[in-house]
Structure 1
Amino acid sequence: MLDLTRDPCEVAPELLGAVIRTDVAIRIVEVEAYRGEVDPGSHAFRGLTKRNAAMFGPPGHLYVYYIYGMHWSANIVCWPEGQAGGVLLRAGEVIDNHELARERRPAAKTDRDLARGPARLAQALGIDGSFNGISLASGRIELLASGEPVESTSGPRVGVSGAGGTASYPWRFWIPGDRHVSPYRPGRS
């Protein structure tokens, strides 16, 4: 397993090519790093709250949150316990149990769109609020390292408003040319 006690910006590109598995398996092709209280794009920028508490928890757990009043998104918690940090799972390719992923994502027109975006990825995996704070070693969800370095590129995070969404924070990492990577959209300024 990857060393998740490190800076999310170090961990993020190493997650590319890894597999996240529930009863569906997805190869990770796009992620974003969030560095807690030093990162204006992070949910933990203003400190510990009930909502973001899992982000301050032990590394190797999930921080799952509800966004736009309709979607779940999942982050892998990094850094030592007490220091908030995480890597958002932005996009992936379903590699096992396509049938169940399609059931969970009936709006997906193609298999390419099953996990193309953080809410779609969480939905395809069946991740909801009950996964918040759960360990990646729980048996309910697991992370399998890719075993080989994967080529990656980086740039500004998708849809992050303010300073945290600018080129000063090139903490979105993806596998160049992979058709499952989500499109870039800047945040509101």
Structure 2
Amino acid sequence: MRKLDRAFYDRDAQLVARDLLGRYLVHRVGGLERVGRIVEVEAYLGPHDLAAHSSKGLTPRTRVMFGAPGHAYVYLIYGMHHCVNVVTEAEGRASAVLLRALEPVSHLEGRTQGPGLLCKAMGLDLRHNGADLLGDDLYVAEALPMPPLRIVRRPRIGVDYAGHWARRLLRFYIRDNRWVSKP
């Protein structure tokens, strides 16, 4: 497997979202390499996207989103579930891609369908917020050659508060993959 480079992340969030599908999230922890194939994602397009955390501006919580591409933005939702995003686009754009579901590959325990379950299975929490995805412990990789994928576009999940942004087709997943959280 080959680790993705910074240029991969330094692009439009929608392009990165689609291109993350089929790649592998790798987390080395405790002598094990936890690996899952990314099968579902959501794009968040920056401060103008009312569903994005960055729509509230630069805060201590969103600082990572406003930073350089290729870093992990991890946050806690409902005080109990961690969610991991991949920061995209140039510094200051505050765009990201939420990882929603993984197909287990190695050393993953429990369900991986849904962002909170994904983080739990991968062992990711707030300690990983800001992690450089070009590092050795947490990264995204691809196995070459990449097979062609049939990708489905749907509205994002759980963002009804965001008005017309809730209806935008910014959730992407691999068609007929049984690990997708919500077809």
Q: TM-score, normalised by structure 1?
A: 0.85
Counting only pairs closer than 5 Å after superposition, residues 135-174 of structure 1 correspond to structure 2 as 135-147=132-144, 148=146, 149-162=148-161, 163=163, 166-167=166-167, 169-174=168-173
CA contact (8 A) 1:62 1:132 kept: yes
What is the one-letter code of the residue matched to 1:16? L
Q: Choose from 50, 75, 91 the match for 1:81.
A: 91
Deviation string 1:51-75 (CA, Å, 9 cap, x unpaired) is 1111111111000000011010000
Equivalent in the alignment of 2:14: 9
Deviation string 1:14-68 (CA, Å, 9 cap, x unpaired) is 1000000103100000000001111010000121111111111111100000001
What is the one-letter code of the residue matched to 1:53? R
Query: Which ranges of structure 1 fall in alignment gaps of 5 or more residues?
Result: 106-113, 185-189
Residue 175 in 1 paired to residue 174 in 2? yes
Of all paired residues, the percent bearing the same amino acid is 39
Cα deviation for residue 139 of structure 1 reads 1.0
Residue 40 in 1 paired to residue 50 in 2? yes
Matched residue of 1:166: which SS?
A: helix
Equivalent in the alignment of 2:102: 92
Query: Which ranges of structure 2 fall in alignment gaps of 5 or more residues?
Result: 28-32
Matched residue of 1:56: which SS?
A: coil
What is the one-letter code of the residue matched to 1:180? W
Matched residue of 2:52: which SS?
A: coil
What is the one-letter code of the residue matched to 2:10? T
Q: TM-score, normalised by structure 2?
A: 0.88
After superposition, the Cα gap between the structure-2 partners of 1:146 and 1:34, relative to the gap in structure 1 and judged at 3 Å, is farther
After superposition, the Cα gap between the structure-2 partners of 1:124 and 1:42, relative to the gap in structure 1 and judged at 3 Å, is same
